[in-house]
Amino acid sequence: MLKLVIANKLYSSWSLRPWMVLRAFDISFDEIIIPLRMPDSRDRVLAVSPSGKVPALITGAQTIWESLAIIEYLADANPGKAIWPRDIMARAHARSIATEMHGGFPALRQACPMNLGGRYATPELTDAVAQNVARIEAIWAEARGQFAADGPYLCGAFSAADAMYAPIATRLDTYQVPVTPATRAYIDTILSHPAFVAWRAAALKETWTIDDYDAGHMLVENYR
């Protein structure tokens, strides 16, 4: 049985990505949550992840860390499941945009941390944040422009690319960032995916909170 070690579901964007793949593609796994910012959090994480960060996937004696590496392992280990698109060009496109997400958009991620506990007033959108949002919208529009005939997700059917961008969809929603109607439609598609619905429901039941994620933002709707 696979074991996925994750952090708080309210806040952990990187944990959401492989979790959503596992759930969406009906791959059995056990979940281990290590709440962040607790006195023993770092020691517990280091015991399972050499990077000192989660998520980490434990499979037998092997540990795999970093969300994208975990997703690649799951795709290799489950060739019967289209975790990446089957079509070679769609697959290349999905991997390109997923990799860009893995290392990109730091301004948006810093200004709008993932927080599923409520909806907040839109923060000041600096030039760097606005540029990040514009690039994300362009990525989504291009992918949907090419593959919309095959389904409502970035490359048609739900794939790893959608899991990689799911936390971005939550950020744009949580902080009410102005976006185009097409972007809003894709956000709604992600937020209504059964795997994400299950993640959010569990997140809202958590008792752990981290003040840093709420500081500096005006709460306009509390979901908890």
CATH number at residue 9: 3.40.30.10
| 96, 64: one domain | no
Cα–Cα distance measured from residue 8 to residue 59, given in angstroms and rounded to the nearest whole number: 21
Instruction: Flag whether 60 is in a domain.
Output: yes
Q: Which domain holds residue 180?
A: 88-199
| 69, 98: one domain | no
Q: What is the pLDDT of residues 146-181, one digit of tens each?
A: 999 989 999 999 999 999 999 999 999 999 999 999
Q: How many structural domains does the chain have?
A: 2
| 104, 51: one domain | no
Residue 79 has pLDDT above 80, yes or no: yes
| 92, 59: one domain | no
Which pairing describes strands 62-65 and 2-6: parallel, antiparallel, or unpaired?
unpaired
Dig out the tokens for 11 from the structure: 């806040």
Mean pLDDT of 112-131: 95
| 134, 188: one domain | yes
- pLDDT value of position 47: 92
| 144, 186: one domain | yes
Q: What is the pLDDT of residues 88-110, one digit of tens each?
A: 999 999 999 999 999 899 999 99
Residues 118 and 217 sit within 8 Å (Cβ to Cβ): no
Instruction: Flag whether 189 is in a domain.
Output: yes
- pLDDT value of position 41: 93
Residue 125 has pLDDT above 80, yes or no: yes
**209: closest CA among 45, 40, 35, 14?**
35
Instruction: Flag whether 41 is in a domain.
Output: yes
Residue spans of alpha helices (H) in the chain: 13-24, 41-46, 67-77, 88-103, 106-111, 127-147, 160-174, 181-191, 194-203, 211-214
| 192, 110: one domain | yes
Give the pLDDT band (50/70/90) at residue 209. Answer: confident
Instruction: Flag whether 114 is in a domain.
Output: yes
Residue 12 has pLDDT above 80, yes or no: yes
| Amino acid sitting at position 177 | V
Mean pLDDT of 63-83: 97
- pLDDT value of position 212: 79
| 98, 165: one domain | yes
Residues constituting the chain: 224
- The residue written with tokens 């496109």 in the block is 93
Instruction: Flag whether 220 is in a domain.
Output: no
